[in-house]
Amino acid sequence: MRTLALSLAAVLLLTAPAAAQETETLYLSGTGRDDAVDWELSCTKGRHCGPWTTIPVPSQWEPSVTYKPDFGPTPDAFTKAFEDRFHIRPGYHAAGGYAAGLVLQHAIEQAGAIETDAVAEALDGTDATTFYGHIRFATGAADHGLQIGHDMVLAQWQKGTDGKLRSQVVWPADAKTAPILYPLKKLAQ
């Protein structure tokens, strides 16, 4: 009788619907690569401790990237010229706008003309790196002109040798300023 009861209990346990474990997916920023969400950040020690601020991660561009441009200024030269002129650090909007003009200028120079067809042909053939990153355009009928060469940059807050937090670009490889730190240690340590 005892064996029968144990057998019935085993059958009931094995055939009963199992409660599935729920998997929680946590993104560092947003719900994918194209929708950064601002992180709230506050430091507990240091010169600017206390106030909360927000930081977007990932980004289209950071002033500290290390791209080696095929033409135009380096990231450092662009950043310095921008800061000298406007007295603020450039964001990716300013860098992207300047890079768009730079690519157009380069296409006109490559075409040797300003006629639309000649410049469009030069833009179609663009496959280069600027201070803003890789530039290449789709040429298919369905997506002609879309920027398909640019990668977002991923930044990580890391302590410098002076103990201060610094935004470091950790991806892509041709733009990074530091290796990614994983697993992360608590910043207070």
Secondary structure of the chain as H, E, C letters: CHHHHHHHHHHHHHHCCCCCCCCCCCCCCCCCCCCCEEEEECCCCCCCCCCCEEEEECECCCCCCCCCCCCCCCHHHHHHHHHHHHCCCCCHHHHHHHHHHHHHHHHHHHHCCCCHHHHHHHHHCCEEEECCEEEEECCCCCCCCCECCCCCEEEEEEECCCCCEEEEEEECCCCCCCCCCCCCCCCCC
Q: Has residue 2 got a pLDDT over 60?
A: no
Query: Which two tokens mark 45?
Result: 């020690």
Angle (nearest 5°) at CA 88 between 82 and 94: 55
13-27, 140-154, 157-171: least confidently modelled range: 13-27
pLDDT in tens, 81-136: 999 999 999 988 999 999 999 999 999 999 999 999 999 999 999 999 999 999 99
pLDDT in tens, 37-89: 555 655 665 555 666 665 556 778 889 999 999 999 999 999 999 999 999 99
Alpha-carbon gap, residue 124 to 112, rounded angstroms: 15
Assessment of whether the complete model's pTM goes beyond 0.85: no
Phi-psi category of 3—alpha, beta or left, where left has phi over 0 and alpha has psi -120 to 50?
alpha
Alpha-carbon gap, residue 95 to 32, rounded angstroms: 23
| Residues in CB range of 148: below 8 A, 6 or more apart | 136, 137, 138
